Structure 1
Amino acid sequence: MKPVKLSFWGIAIVLTGLCLAAEPPFSVPYEFLVLRALLINYSGIIAIGMMSVAMILAVRPVFFEPFLGGLDKMYRLHKWLGIGALLMASTHWLLTQAPQWLVGLGLMARPARHGAPAPGEGVQQFFQSQRGLAEGIGEWAFYATALLIVLALLKRFPYRHFFKTHRLLAVAYLFLVFHSVVLMKFSYWREAVGPVLAGLLMAGSAAALGILCSRVGQSRRAVAVIDEISRHQDIHVLEVAILLKGRWRGHQAGQFAFVTFDAQEGPHPFTITSVWNGDGRLRFAIKALGDYTQTLPATLKVGDPVKVEGPYGQFNFIGNKPRQIWIAGGIGITPFVARMKKLARQPDGKIVDLFYSTARADDEIISRLRRDAQAAKVTLHVLKGGDTPLTVERITRVVPKWQSSDIWFCGPSGFGHDLRRDFRARRLPAEDFHQELFELR
């Protein structure tokens, strides 16, 4: 998560520095209305800047994946930037409303009305003529943005509705771009903050238009049909094999794809459990974790059309340690299945221990795991529901040379958080703990 934190704070610090360079606080009189105007400009720039980067990340630009650690981390940054933009936009709105509230409460004398600003020329004159419109549009776009972000953060808000409503943020964003361009202090356009913000607004607007035109991931899409379905009812897992009918660029073990079984529901991310053989076949293991995935066993059938977008992810098992420890919780076993199939064909010489913790065990799946592990020369440790919980103490006892290993974890986020914390307490370098994030909202 370190690259995500560095990126978030780096964006905030750079934009703050540009604002301070454009209008240093010590260069203005220390009066309430003057400082308020300064803070309105600052909060507005930070809010629209963060929202612009979040909009760019929403179109899934894969060239950011290596730096951020995968699309799952990219979406975490997207989420943080959305929250940061909402907080700064709320501050911006409160600052604009504060004087009239204070006057209404009798805590502040009504500010003297100043004459109209001196007429500008060309673009500046046009901006001045549009201020009233921009203020009204900005206020209503803020209300819409706040509502849509809050809905996106509510996990109980159904994904099928989230998929549709979240796209409306692109519309609100375009209105906020107009608001920002017109109302930003005109002298700022001649400072460094001007061209930087202009670049962000143009890139963000292009991304917003791409979202509205359904162009996200267009170059990475393929159509397919369901070729095979296997149900494991005891553990609520559905295996689906699909046959691609379009071009696929191939994938690495550990990567995932967005799969659309139902256009009304939209795409969902699922890890690819098969290795790429060039034969057009992909396999997914889907756990019934929510309303939508619980319905799939009853609704999917062989021959149904499917849309696939990908591959994505940096859960690639690349490390410089001679050993690796893999830890899987529940359906988090899927990337390790693909990796074992790959190692069976192309060994990499690393010593690997795989710990698989599952509340419910399926004999057929466990038997297949053992065969895959044997073929890949991976040492498999299975912990079933009634066993002692998997802890760092247990792992380090089973693997005495754990310090010469890097850790690869995929499973429930709380489980991963505890393991990361306890490994860090034993001085495992942060960069040696690799975690796939289940949550993309």
Structure 2
Amino acid sequence: AALHWLVEMSDDILKTLIGRQGRVPEDVLTGLLDVLRDLAEDMGEWAIYALLAMLVITLWKKFPYRPWRFLHRAMPVLYLMLAFHAALLAPTDYWTQPVGALLAVLLGAGVYGAVHTLLGRIGKARETAGEIIAVAQLAPDVTTVVCRLGPDWRGHRPGQFAFVSFDDKEGAHPFTMASADQGDHTVSFQIKALGDYTRSLPQRLQPGQRVRVEGPYGRFDLGRRQRRARQIWIAGGIGVTPFLAWLASLQATPDKAPAAELHYCTRDQATDAFVPRLLALCAVLPAVRLHIHDARQGAKLTAAALGVSGKTEIWFCGPTGLACALRQGLAALGWRPRFHQEAFEMR
């Protein structure tokens, strides 16, 4: 759409440089089709202006998420306007050629997706209602929320995440499930206070409150590891949640736990509420060696400290800055291990 708009804006320049030779003649329409074509032309122009504005505020990360999310709901409407523009203004001869068939398939698929979105059907097949059964303040900035979901919950694999809605006005937020699936439709989330909404959850939530969970999603899955590769697991801060689920899922069968080096990076080990939990879980799993890197004590994890050699696989969940530093450090040392990293950036 943007390229088409630029070509249209450059119409006079193109005529001067290459003339009108090869240009498809414009169809002559009358009556209702002529009125619809004029409407489609106007709609296409306004839609591309709106799309370019949406692109700017999406790339501008300082633009607040909540109004951005609200404005983003206009995207399927803008697409339908552009589809209407394309269908009405495409040369009539196109529809008798392969390009017309391709255009029809693409527009049909796009229109279906746009209508599906406007009807609120995305993710509905994976949505389960439930209730909160426990809320606890694990640390000043971490809230534990335990939910019991309905019988249609399909269960989850350790390390997966879900979109959780505690408040319809706020909408869904992605949180990793910090518990292993026990078949009892119970899931727990460790939620870090990263913004105004998550910071207010301890006051907003209480047992018995309704919740909607959409998922599970994600491929940060212990079952996908390469069996013959050396395992290095790296967690930073709240990024420890998928590894908590991994370790919990191995408690009943510790002999099946893979040999792994688990590195946990924390600001202050003495006050970190996850450290006791990690120590308890790893105590049952002798194959998993836990390394705690306490930033307050000057213990900083570096690529060299990982000791990568041979066939190695790294699973990482934590701050983006740490991931970039480790990737760059590994590249500088000439190591190219398989590096799994699940990003939670919604824009």
CA distance in 2: counterparts of 1:180 and 1:329, whole angstroms? 48
For 1:311, the aligned partner's letter is P
- Name the one with the larger helix percent: 1
| Counterpart secondary structure, 2:251 | helix
| Counterpart secondary structure, 1:163 | helix
Length-normalised TM-score, structure 2: 0.88
Counterpart among 279, 294, 306 of residue 199 in structure 2: 294
CA distance in 1: counterparts of 2:67 and 2:142, whole angstroms? 24
- Alignment deviations for residues 335-378 of structure 1 (CA, whole Å, 9 cap, x no partner): 00000111223454521110000124335421111111122331
Q: Which residue of structure 2 aligns with residue 94 of structure 1? A: 6
Residue pair 1:373, 1:379 contacting (<8 A) in 2 also: yes
Counterpart among 145, 155, 161 of residue 51 in structure 2: 145
Counterpart among 257, 280, 284 of residue 371 in structure 1: 280
Which stretches in structure 1 are left out of the alignment for 5+ residues?
1-46, 48-88
Alignment of 1:70-149 (within 5 A): 89=2, 91-99=3-11, 117=26, 119=28, 130-149=36-55
Residue pair 2:76, 2:114 contacting (<8 A) in 1 also: yes
Residue pair 1:272, 1:338 contacting (<8 A) in 2 also: yes
CA distance in 2: counterparts of 1:118 and 1:311, whole angstroms? 51
CA distance in 2: counterparts of 1:255 and 1:287, whole angstroms? 17
Residue pair 1:413, 1:438 contacting (<8 A) in 2 also: no
Residue pair 1:260, 1:266 contacting (<8 A) in 2 also: yes
Q: Which residue of structure 1 aligns with residue 231 of structure 2? A: 324
| Residue 221 of structure 1, CA deviation | 0.3
| Counterpart secondary structure, 2:284 | helix
Counterpart among 122, 132, 137 of residue 216 in structure 1: 122
Which stretches in structure 2 are left out of the alignment for 5+ residues?
none
For 1:307, the aligned partner's letter is R
Counterpart among 385, 399, 403 of residue 310 in structure 2: 403
- In structure 2, the CA distance between the partners of 1:345 and 1:428, relative to structure 1 (3 Å rule), is farther
1:356 aligns with 2:264: yes
- In structure 2, the CA distance between the partners of 1:199 and 1:427, relative to structure 1 (3 Å rule), is farther
Counterpart among 304, 307, 312 of residue 393 in structure 1: 304
Task: State, as a whole percentage, how many aligned pairs show the same letter.
Answer: 40
For 1:391, the aligned partner's letter is T
- Alignment deviations for residues 249-297 of structure 1 (CA, whole Å, 9 cap, x no partner): 1110110000011111110000001111111110001111122211212
Count of residues in Structure 1 that have an aligned counterpart in Structure 2 = 337
- Name the one with the larger strand percent: 2
Q: Which residue of structure 2 aligns with residue 9 of structure 1? A: none
1:420 aligns with 2:300: no
| Counterpart secondary structure, 2:310 | helix
CA distance in 2: counterparts of 1:131 and 1:287, whole angstroms? 52
Alignment of 1:233-382 (within 5 A): 233-234=139-140, 236-317=141-222, 318-320=224-226, 321-346=228-253, 347-361=255-269, 362-377=271-286, 378-382=288-292
- In structure 2, the CA distance between the partners of 1:187 and 1:423, relative to structure 1 (3 Å rule), is farther
- Alignment deviations for residues 307-342 of structure 1 (CA, whole Å, 9 cap, x no partner): 100000011132323421001111110100000111
Residue pair 1:322, 1:350 contacting (<8 A) in 2 also: no
| Counterpart secondary structure, 1:174 | helix
| Counterpart secondary structure, 2:117 | helix
Residue pair 1:138, 1:176 contacting (<8 A) in 2 also: yes
- In structure 2, the CA distance between the partners of 1:94 and 1:305, relative to structure 1 (3 Å rule), is same
| Counterpart secondary structure, 1:345 | coil
For 2:294, the aligned partner's letter is K
- In structure 2, the CA distance between the partners of 1:275 and 1:291, relative to structure 1 (3 Å rule), is same
CA distance in 2: counterparts of 1:223 and 1:353, whole angstroms? 37
| Residue 182 of structure 1, CA deviation | 1.8
| Counterpart secondary structure, 2:159 | coil
Residue pair 1:412, 1:438 contacting (<8 A) in 2 also: no
For 1:395, the aligned partner's letter is L
Residue pair 1:323, 1:350 contacting (<8 A) in 2 also: no
1:158 aligns with 2:158: no
CA distance in 2: counterparts of 1:216 and 1:246, whole angstroms? 21
CA distance in 2: counterparts of 1:268 and 1:194, whole angstroms? 41
| Counterpart secondary structure, 1:257 | strand
Please report the RMSD computed on the Cα atoms of aligned residues, expressed in angstroms.
2.8
| Residue 440 of structure 1, CA deviation | 2.2
Residue pair 1:128, 1:182 contacting (<8 A) in 2 also: no
| Counterpart secondary structure, 2:344 | coil
- In structure 2, the CA distance between the partners of 1:266 and 1:138, relative to structure 1 (3 Å rule), is same
| Counterpart secondary structure, 2:10 | helix
For 1:393, the aligned partner's letter is A
- Alignment deviations for residues 103-133 of structure 1 (CA, whole Å, 9 cap, x no partner): 9xxx99x99xx9x84658xxx9986663322
CA distance in 1: counterparts of 2:31 and 2:266, whole angstroms? 67
Residue pair 1:225, 1:302 contacting (<8 A) in 2 also: yes
